[in-house]
Amino acid sequence: MTAASKSPIDEFTALQKEVNPQRRGVAFERFLLRLVRASGLHAELNAPISLPRQTDLVASYGTQSYLIEAKWEKNPVSVEVVDSVESRLRRTHPSVVGVIISMSGFSSSCIEEVVRKRGDRAIVLLDRNDIAAAVEEPVKLRWILRTKHQRLVRSANVWFHDPVDLKGSPFWMGPQDDYSELVDIDGKSIPWFTNESGGSSVIFGSPRISVDEVEKRGVAVVKLFPDLHDLNSLTRLLTHLHDSGRCERFFRWVLSDRIKTWHGVGRASLTKALELVPKGQIEPISDGFGVWLHCHGGTESEFWALTADIYPDQYIDICELSFVKAELPLDLTRFHQISDAYGSWWESRVTWDYGVDFCWGSIEPQVKLDVAGYLVSKRQSQTGETERLIMGVIARNPFSRRAPFRKSGVFDPKWTELSHVLCQVAPWHKWSERSGAYFAHTWILASSGGANIAVLDGEFAPNN
């Protein structure tokens, strides 16, 4: 498994077994980047905040910024590291707080020094227990940083978190798109499947929204409109959504030009598809427009969708990013940071949706699917071997004569023009046991972030 597909606990354990200090140091920085982003902070590696000196990591939440130095050495960190961080802090704004992370702890002189300097430039210290607490619950990192800063400045107290037992901690398992892929009927990996239906298709995915409660209590929708201008800024935004843990469960996307639509799973395949734009391999939808991108992802607590218009010269015209949550968020900082960091936001709004953009129903009778490929997940078994689990199937469109959905003015996917659909199946089963029949029985339609999302749910009936 790649680092991103491991759970943070497994990755943390693997880092402790790394004997090469240089490799461990680089991997530790990448691990911290994922962890800091998962906590809701904006973070960058090697940011030019204190030029000409280099900084391991810079993080921010709202107006508060942190200059972070990470150490994983044999001996406790000495006072020389404090002096080095202080030197870099003096090249930054006075409000920036220094952070030293040491997996080997801190010398007594180091602790005494940060207390002595607290009235000049505050530097907080994080040890192994602090990082373990953040691994257990990423959002806790913001509280740890704030609490350490307050105790240091107000009472000259250097506080460390109590030990944490990580054995039973659930935490996010890493973006699912890192170990999910589409394969053809023979099991050969494919980057995407296509429909000869330009600009009219939907994303096939899994909103993970409790739709049966939407009409009763509604959902909160946070809409952002980042002022993106090019493919590079769009790619950075997608990377942030991925690395901040917002693709834990899935990442689905479609890219449509004038005559064709590409459907894919995962950020890696989307990056490859976006490379077709500057190469001129995607036809503009019309003289006045380029290509349309729609993608979405989600976690247990939120669902997001993004749509953007991309011109042939790689210019981004309109980008809309929406987050759907079960409750109104009290703190919008983490949402606004996205737009502030990846293209200033020219508008944002929070609304309460009582279900006008969600509908669902049953397919009666169930439709048997003609399988053309599979959506598989690669997992490591308890014996350490990699095994494939079938999560869904690519099927030839069984709705070419009629759509299975009740008519709605919100949705117009032109189902009869699609050659293939993607249908999730349950229960998941091993690749070696894929022989059997697949049926579609339930549908969900959602409209969010300017994108139409269709979910087809089915079941697998193995051959006896």
For 117-166, write each residue's pLDDT tens digit: 988 899 999 999 999 888 888 878 989 999 999 999 999 999 999 988 77
* The pLDDT value given to residue 68: 94
How crowded is residue 99: how many other Cβ atoms within 10 Å of its Cβ?
24
Q: CA 387 to CA 430: how far, in whole Å? A: 7
- Quick one: which of 186, 199, 159, 405 has its CA closest to 290? 199
Whether the per-residue pLDDT at 364 is higher than 90: the answer is no
* The pLDDT value given to residue 170: 45
Comparing 441 with 14, the larger pLDDT belongs to 441
Whether the per-residue pLDDT at 304 is higher than 70: the answer is yes
In the structure, what pLDDT confidence band is assigned to residue 239 with cuts at 50, 70 and 90?
confident
Average pLDDT over residues 209-215: 58
Phi, psi at 457, each rounded to 5°? -110, 140
On average, the pLDDT of the chain sits at 81
- Give the SS3 label for residue 453: strand
> Which stretches of 381-435 are DSSP H helices?
none
- Quick one: which of 195, 206, 191 has its CA closest to 273? 191
How crowded is residue 254: how many other Cβ atoms within 10 Å of its Cβ?
28
Contact 131, 96 (CB under 8 A): no
Q: Which of 227-231, 243-247, 443-447, 452-456 ranks highest by mean pLDDT? A: 452-456
Average pLDDT over residues 204-219: 66
Comparing 399 with 381, the larger pLDDT belongs to 399
* The pLDDT value given to residue 190: 95
Q: CA 401 to CA 416: how far, in whole Å? A: 6
In the structure, what pLDDT confidence band is assigned to residue 2 with cuts at 50, 70 and 90?
very low
In the structure, what pLDDT confidence band is assigned to residue 110 with cuts at 50, 70 and 90?
very high
pLDDT in tens, 389-414: 999 999 999 887 777 776 655 555 67
Comparing 176 with 120, the larger pLDDT belongs to 120
Average pLDDT over residues 64-91: 91
Contact 448, 303 (CB under 8 A): yes
* The pLDDT value given to residue 114: 94
Rg (CA), the chain: 24
- Quick one: which of 54, 100, 53 has its CA closest to 77? 100
* The pLDDT value given to residue 169: 45
pLDDT in tens, 145-154: 999 999 999 9
Contact 260, 196 (CB under 8 A): yes
* The pLDDT value given to residue 3: 45
Contact 394, 425 (CB under 8 A): no
Average pLDDT over residues 104-122: 92
Unique residue bearing structure tokens 């006045």: 288
pLDDT over 70 percentage in the chain = 80
* The pLDDT value given to residue 415: 77
Q: Which of 30-44, 75-89, 281-295, 338-352 ranks highest by mean pLDDT? A: 75-89
> What separation in angstroms does the CA of 153 have from each of 89, 124, 140, 146, 205?
16, 10, 20, 11, 48
* The pLDDT value given to residue 396: 94
pLDDT in tens, 248-290: 768 899 988 777 889 999 888 998 888 877 666 665 444 555 7
pLDDT in tens, 424-451: 998 888 999 999 999 999 888 877 766 7
* The pLDDT value given to residue 147: 93
